[in-house]
Structure 1
Amino acid sequence: MEELDASLPDFLLDDTLIAGDTTPMLGEPDLYALLSAEFAADRGDVEDALIIYKAESFKDNATAVFERALALSIEYEEPQKSLAFATAWQMNNPEHIPAWFYVAHLALKAKDYNQAVQTLGMILDYDKRADLTQILTGIVPDDLEDQRLLFLALQTVEEDNPSISVLKAGLLMQMGDYQPAILYVNQALKADPKNLAYIMLKIDLLRLSGKDDELWQFVAQKQQEIPNEKELYLYQIRYKIENGDLTDAYQLLLTAYTKTQDADVALLTALVALDIGEYTQAIDVLKPLIQNPEFTSRAHYYLGIGYERSGDFAQSRHHYERVTDHEHALDARTKVVGFYLMDGQTDKALATLVRLRDEHEMYTADSYILQAEILLRQGDKKSAEDLLRTANQENPDDDRLLFASFKILENELSNEDKRLALDRLLLLDPYNNEYLLADAKLRLMINPDDQNALKVAKQISQLDSSDPLYDSQLQLEALKVLSNQALSQGQFGKVIEYLEVPYEVAPDLDVGILLLRGYQGLGKYDKVNSLLADLKQRFAFGQNKTGQELQEY
């Protein structure tokens, strides 16, 4: 590999900086120049900032300037340029040991393995037990040939250093050569038997080698040596959970929790306890976590679940109301709303939703949507419409809110209002399949012969489950749109073709009603009677006092 030029970089001889003087600048770094460099970096003019910083870093007592220049170089320049700069600075400051580490890391990153090995040798000559972890982190190449070249280069380096042994083990693991990799990691463990990273690497190698008995013996041995190390327990626990053995995982978690008193272990213990129905135990483990600021909100959330599943709704609501983290706030407040509605306290349910959007702006749309749905269930359509109108005026670019409003009020809107809403939605997100299908549905309702709309609905209905855009519910909606269009054209066979299988897989009332119309249109009255009986049994279809469903059918 071609060796990089380690002489002083060209920018030190730049006449724009030193007016033709070919002697490198001496003295302390110039504060004004450093300020200019930082202002340039803030403006995004990184190239000028680097020119100044690199030049100033070669002055006396400029270690901090060098580190700032190198940080910028690593972020914005190719590894080879960063390496050339670090090498030149290190040669100019040979007593600065940290620079050796920078050069070694950058040489590995730039795949200059000869220079990397030479620098690692210098470091190990200085200190055979040097911790090389930072140098070697994140530099294992992806390419197999590069892995091989790096491994061969490392063969010339002192083998007693555990960091080097582990790097060799990692390279061999990447190359699929597990047995010699285990030998190297054993060397590292001999020097540092309680190093968790080395332990976990050996566990991974034993797993990949298929040596399960040896793996579990090794884990048991290390648990005796470091009984409070949670990661060893968690490895066993994850294995049991992945294999569906929740009961054994739970027992092991209780042991791990007792020995480590670790908050992460406590939370996982509670989650598994909730899964296997041990609600009292879950609650007991979660209560102390309330006092841990990092876990307080999550503890309240899972306590809410524990009490809810135990049937203690008052305590459940108490804890759900105290959930503050964004991840769980929406679900927790939705549960609170449900409890208030169950008790007939609609005003408190609505107030909870107002507080949700005040405290968590990201859930503004959700809170308005839930509030409108409650108002509609209460029969207060006017208030629901006014609320959603205000919400959309305050959040004109929130397409999710607009679409939810559209769906909630769809039956109340005129075709002109629907058109305006859909045009706005498609302007905000022209490739959203939900909006495209709603648009196709409206177009086909106005003109059943609209071929473009028909094409959109068919495309959505035919998305493969492997497609990132696939949505089973949206696919079903597309099939219903196509079926309604087919009914309007008297194409009853197509209705059955679209919906017969979906109904068999997941019976749905709306799908069933469309199928009834298809069977009736073809005169298949045995199918009509059979399906009608199924709808009555599943959905009490046609059994309400007004007979409205049968009239609509």
Structure 2
Amino acid sequence: MKKFWHAHNRDLTHALTAHASGKASRFAKRPLAVMLIAVGAVAFVPAVHANVFDPLLKVLLPFYNPVATPKADSTPDTAATTDTHADTATHADTATHDEEAVLAVPDTGDDAFDTLNTDAPQAAPKHAFSDTAHPDVPAILLSDTLVAGDTLPMLDTPDLYALLDAEFAADRGDVERALTIYKAESFKDNATSVFERALSLSIEFEQPADSLAFATAWQDANPEHIPAWFYVTHLALKAGEYNQAASMISMILHYDPRADLGQILNGIIPTNPDDKRALLYALQDLGQNNASISVLRAGILMGLNEYDAARLHVNQALSLEPKNLAFITLKLDILRASNRMDELWTYLHKMRKQLPKEKDLYLYEIRYLIEKGELSRAWTLLAQANKNTNDPDIRLLSGLVGLDSARYVDAISVLEPLLEHPTLASQAHYYMGIGYERLGDIQNARRHYEQVTHYENVLDARTKVVGFYLAENNIDAAIATLTRLRDELESYAPDSYILQAEIYLSQGDKAHAKDLLTIANRDYPNDDRLLYASFKLLEDELEPEDKRQAIAKLLEIDEFNPDYQLADAKFRLSQDSYDKDALEIAERISNISFDDPEYDSQRQLDALLALANAALANQQYDTVIDYLQAPYDVMPTLDVGIVLLRAYQGLGDTQMVTSLLADLQTRFGVGQANSTDSQIY
């Protein structure tokens, strides 16, 4: 049975377990062409004249059997028994009408289909979801939705037009209609593929209890379909129906006591202690010799902090499958959670001797050493792992540890073989570039950075290349690098425009910067990062109305972004320093705690500056000092220092003015001799 499960149901099982871990099912929105092939083996088309498509339909739909099209005024029963040897003249008289009927799309109630179907003969829909139309479908799964128009099912198999209608509905976001159709069609003969499609949609869009109700009903109607036992078991566990799950597991184990239940049990341990105990109780009489059940018990008991009992069960699983890495890792986790570190290392080293090529047995200890900051020991163990496993991931990690422990030459050496690896070459170039850069070898660093293509590293690598060229005053090469970046990777085009504009501004070429950013925002009108960066770079050059429009657009895209809210508050305070709402926004942003995910030190400083400028405009000099003196003491900046200086000038505090001015001159090389001049800046 184990082989049957893996050979015939790997895809949907993966979808089920992927959903259990929070991943989107890959069955959710497959392309229509793929869907047609998937359901083709079990679907039927309405009766049509034999035509040039018959051979193709027979390939895609093995049960396809062309029959004559019913006449417009025929009842469904007489249409199904149309005499194919009818008088030739009759066929000639109705040929044109019949061709129109063949080409017409059945009325599904969809407006698009209605437009196409204005002249097509209409018949009463035969597939309304009711107990009469579908006596085998549980009433709980039925609704008033219509499937398709006048179609002619054969041998009670799934209707192709109904399935098309369902797939179109799913693509349009009408999931309720799609599920209603798919569920009903899945209860016909030879409808396994339809059931799997319906179940994948149900798992993604419905509650576990609803998916379980559907899967249970289908499994009851198809008791010999073994994979359905697994689907129902998994869904019962997800829905918290532990007794039903235990019953299904018992049935599976009766069929195969050693069945691999790992995939349906993975990721279903509940978080609530009471639910954990309820599941443990439901499993108490099951699978004493089944490794998967033993591991599930061990995982539950570990979550309940009952480590001794958990060790007993994981040892039971290991006695059945001693080389199962997942079981070995669980035992290591249990030993670590129970603080049995000596026993953990003894067991780990023993298993590493037995399985010397298993990289995970090295990584377990290596990650522990890295967490503890013991990089030298991690480097030594990585060298051993490289020798025994020859694994590219181990080699990449070795390079990273080498860089972090200042072994730059060794790191470059260990990474070099990865330049020939198809998927890791880009990362190897990136980290080798870092190694050469830290060695001061800029030419080799640039050579490697320029060959980085991995999406996580490419922007940083090309930015470093630009920096190298700018350090050499090679402006043309720097701009050429950014142009190539957006040509090769359009997703980074906004970033390349921003960097290029910064280069122009650093050269004092504001006209080129403004023209470039105008073009960039025209090409990417909904990229708020680009718009915000453009606003920040050109803020001093923009007219008030242009600022207002830019901020309005930013808030339209993301009204909850604190950067955009602060930009709005600063602009409003520049127009009215008493704007109460703007002051509240700036105050709230300035008070964001450092442990808040939205905390940003520069944004906090900008908010304090906005508040201080408003207070300065209102001659509230003590308030300005309260806002800015501490930030200046911690991290002096020119902007903060200038506002502080003006506040002390307003208070007439000559001593503080003289002291602060001297500090600004020392730090930033600015200022004038006459410190009493209130217009000094």
Could you tell me the TM-score, scaled by structure 1's length? 0.88
The CA distance in 2 between the partners of 1:422 and 1:62, in whole Å, is 55
Residues 175 and 512 (structure 1), Cα distance of their counterparts in 2 relative to 1, 3 Å cut: same
In structure 2, C-alpha distance between the alignment counterparts of 1:144 and 1:69, rounded to whole Å: 33
Contact 1:376 1:384 in 2 (8 A): yes
In 1, the alpha carbon distance for the partners of 2:235 and 2:302 equals 23
Do the aligned partners of residues 190 and 395 (structure 1) sit closer, same or farther apart at CA in structure 2, a change above 3 Å counting? same
Distance in 1 between residues matched to 2:668 and 2:221, nearest whole Å: 84
Match of 2:257 in 1: 128
Q: CA deviation at 1:93?
A: 4.1
Q: What is the root-mean-square deviation of aligned Cα atoms in Å?
A: 3.0
Moved more, 95-104 or 358-367: 95-104
Distance, in Å, in 2 between the alignment partners of 1:407 and 1:87 is 59
Greater relative contact order: 1 or 2 (C-alpha under 8 angstroms, separation 6 or more)? 2
- Residues 219 and 15 of structure 1, relative CA distance in 2, 3 Å threshold: same
- Which amino acid in 2 is paired with 1:273? G
Q: Tell me the CA shift for residue 179 of structure 1.
A: 0.9
Is the deviation greater in 443-452 or in 334-343? 443-452
Report if the CA contact (8 A) 2:649-2:678 is conserved: no
Any gaps of 5 or more consecutive residues in structure 2?
A: 1-127, 140-152
Note the alpha carbon deviations across 1:22-41, whole angstroms, 9 max, x for none.
9xx99462453555554554
Q: Which residue of 2 aligns with 1:3?
A: none
Q: Which of 290, 293, 297 does residue 422 from structure 2 map onto?
A: 293
User: In structure 2, what is the Cα distance between the partners aligned to 1:323 and 1:476?
Assistant: 35
Is 1:172 the equivalent of 2:289? no
Paired residue type of 2:650: G
Aligned to 1:157, the other structure's residue is in SS state: coil
Secondary structure class of the residue paired with 2:456: helix
Cα gap change, 1:539 to 1:167, in 2 (>3 Å):
same
C-alpha distance in structure 2 between counterparts of 1:430 and 1:70, whole Å: 38
- Greater than 6 Å deviation, 4+ residue runs: none
Deviation at residue 349 of structure 1 after TM alignment: 1.0
Alpha-carbon distance between aligned partners in 2 of 1:503 and 1:415, rounded to the nearest angstrom: 29
Distance in 1 of aligned mates of 2:254 and 2:332: 31
Task: State whether structure 2 residue 157 is matched by structure 1 residue 29.
Answer: yes
* Structure 1 residues 531 and 50, CA gap change in structure 2 (3 angstroms): closer
Quote the offset at 1:290 in angstroms. Answer: 1.8
Matched, 1:102 2:219: no
Say if 2:158 and 2:191, in contact at 8 Å, map to a contact too.
Answer: no
Indicate the SS of the match to 1:15: coil
Question: How far apart are the structure 1 equivalents of 2:620 and 2:185?
Answer: 81
Matched, 1:521 2:615: no
More helix per residue: 1 or 2? 1
CA distances 1:410-459 after superposition (whole Å, capped 9, x unpaired): 22233343334333333433333333333333333344343443333323
Map 1:215-226 → 2, pairs under 5 A: 215-226=344-355
CA separation in 2, counterparts of 1:155 and 1:204? 23
- Residue 249 (structure 1) aligned with residue 366 (structure 2): no
Tell me the CA shift for residue 309 of structure 1: 1.3
The answer for the alignment partner of 2:131 in structure 1 is 14
The 10-residue stretch of structure 1 (354-363 or 462-471) with the greater mean CA deviation from structure 2: 462-471
Q: Kindly state the Cα deviation for residue 157 of structure 1 after the two structures are TM-superposed.
A: 0.9
Contact 2:386 2:395 in 1 (8 A): yes
Offset of residue 228 of structure 1: 1.6
- Are positions 1:279 and 2:412 aligned together? no
User: Is 1:477 paired with 2:645?
Assistant: no
1:120 counterpart SS class = helix
Task: Please state whether the residue corresponding to 1:326 is helix, strand or coil.
Answer: coil
User: Is 1:400 matched with 2:517?
Assistant: no
Taking a change above 3 Å as real, the CA distance of residues 232 and 18 of structure 1, as seen in their structure-2 partners, is: closer
- Measured after TM superposition, the shift of residue 497 of structure 1 is 1.0
How many angstroms apart in 2 are the aligned matches of 1:150 and 1:367?
A: 55
- Aligned equivalents of 1:533, 1:248: Cα separation in 2: 51
Once the two structures are TM-superposed, the CA of residue 216 in structure 1 deviates from its matched residue by: 1.3
Q: How does 1:501-540 map to 2 (within 5 A)?
A: 501-540=630-669
Does structure 2 retain, via aligned residues, the 8 Å contact 1:26–1:59?
A: no
1:280 alignment partner AA? V
Question: Matches of residues 52-451 of structure 1 in structure 2 within 5 Å?
Answer: 52-451=181-580
What do residues 466-519 of structure 1 show as CA deviations (whole Å, max 9, x unaligned)?
A: 444332211111222222233333322222211111112112222223223333
The more displaced of 466-475 and 139-148 is: 466-475
Displacement after TM superposition at 1:334 (Å): 0.8
Determine what percentage of the aligned residue pairs are the same residue: 58
Query: Any conservation in 1 of the 2:158–2:186 contact (CA below 8 Å)?
Result: no
Q: Corresponding residue for 1:7? A: none
* Distance in 2 separating the partners of 1:445 and 1:478: 13
Aligned-pair CA distance for 1:61? 4.2
- The 10-residue stretch of structure 1 (462-471 or 497-506) with the greater mean CA deviation from structure 2: 462-471
CA distance in 1, matches of 2:518, 2:602: 27
Structure 2 counterpart of 1:417, which letter?
D
Aligned pair count?
537
Counterpart of 1:68 in 2: which secondary structure?
helix
In structure 1, the partner of 2:590 is 461
Whether the 8 Å CA contact 1:26–1:60 is kept in 2: the answer is no
For residue 389 of structure 1, report the CA deviation from its aligned partner. Answer: 2.0
Distance 2:581 2:418 in 1: 57
Local SS of the residue matching 1:327: coil
Most deviating of 163-172 and 489-498:
489-498
Change (3 A) 1:163 1:543: farther
The amino acid of 2:452's aligned partner reads: V
Q: Judging changes above 3 Å, is the alpha-carbon distance between structure 1 residues 514 and 287 closer, same or farther for their aligned structure 2 residues?
A: same
2:629 partner letter: E
Q: Deviations over 1:29-81 (max 9, x none)?
A: 24535555545544555555545544554555444344334334433444444
Give TM-score scaled by structure 2 length: 0.73
CA distance in 2, matches of 1:152, 1:495: 66
1:542/1:550 contact within 8 Å kept: no
Shift of 1:171: 1.0
Amino acid at match of 1:270: G
SS in 2 for 1:155: coil
Give me the whole-angstrom Cα distance separating, in 1, the residues matched to 2:584 and 2:209: 53
Q: Match of 1:496?
A: 625
Q: What is the identity, as a one-letter code, of the residue corresponding to 1:421?
A: A
* Distance 1:418-1:172 versus aligned 2 partners, 3 A rule: same
- Higher deviation after alignment, 144-153 or 417-426: 417-426
Q: Would you say the 8 A contact 1:28–1:62 is kept in 2? A: no
1:287-306 CA deviation, whole Å, 9 max, x = no partner? 21122221122111112111
Paired with 1:426 and 1:12, the residues of 2 have a C-alpha distance of: 47
Distance change in 2, residues 1:422/1:136 (3 Å) = closer
Unaligned regions of 5+ residues in structure 1, if any?
1-10
Looking at structure 1, the residues matched to 178 and 571 of structure 2 have their Cα atoms a distance apart, in angstroms, of: 57
Q: Tell me, in whole angstroms, the C-alpha distance in 2 between the residues paired with 1:422 and 1:72.
A: 41
* Equivalent residues of 2:672, 2:680 under 8 A apart: no
Distance 2:181 2:577 in 1: 69
Partners of 1:542 and 1:427 in 2: CA distance: 41
In structure 2, the CA distance between the partners of 1:389 and 1:207, relative to structure 1 (3 Å rule), is same
Give the direction of change, closer, same or farther, for the CA distance of 1:13–1:534 in structure 2 (3 Å limit). Answer: closer
